[in-house]
Amino acid sequence: MSGILDSFSLEGKVAVITGASSGLGVSFATGLAEAGADIAICARRVEKLEETKAKVEAIGRRCVAVEADVTNPEDCARFVAEAVEKLGHVDVLINNAGLATAVPATREDPEEFRKVVDANLNGSFFMAQAFARNISENGGSIVNIGSVLGSTTAFLPQAAYGASKAAIIGLTRDLAQQWTARKKIRVNALAPGFFVSEMTDQYPDGYLDNMMIRVPAGRGGQHEELVAAAIFLASDASSYITGVLLPVDGGMLTT
């Protein structure tokens, strides 16, 4: 009989990961590959995607890399269809692709605001829609990547980003109540705190150090800590969990 640790394995599953050309997207791709999954990845930067693909294949897993823009529903459908064609099926979606800005609200350009919401919210929905249309009768798991900034602020002017990540919470809950019973798709979200990424590279000097006063753990997160939480939500270990927001933030939302 299988032990409890076996339920964390992604062996035999195919994980679809967006925004996998850099940062956390690369970590999700390699981490889920280490957990046993074959991987399908997409992003707009093709040359970076190939680097991620090579890392996944070095782990010994199959990988399909597709140039796609998640804000385009046709790209999302094409990406998932290619994953099914080349890898046989899809079981897990990590909705990681996104954008961030930090612009005072009175000066934020309307197109810039729309661009952030389009990537973070609309892109997550379009990908979830394409994934759900291709899921097998065995069902699957969607993990939306939200943010603690969907539930609090971090003293930067980030109306577009914060609004889009707050909307991810509502999207996660609604898709969970629509699809968990009908399509056997569990839908959950992670709310990362401070993790080094392309977004944090844009922060002012000293900002992250100053923000640690709000983090009981006293430090930023390591990519592996977020990936481990994603593997939990993607795997059968969380088979009775759906519609939740799981903060991975060192306790920031408690302060």
Instruction: List active site positions.
Output: 161
Helix (H, G, I), strand (E, B) or coil at 9: coil
Q: CA-CA distance, 251 to 255, in Å (whole number)? A: 7
Helix (H, G, I), strand (E, B) or coil at 203: coil
Cβ atoms < 10 Å from Cβ of 244: 16
For residue 252, CA distances in Å to 103, 113, 156, 220 come to: 23, 26, 16, 10
Partners of residue 140 on adjacent β-strands: 185
Q: CA-CA distance, 68 to 49, in Å (whole number)? A: 11
Total residue length of the chain: 255
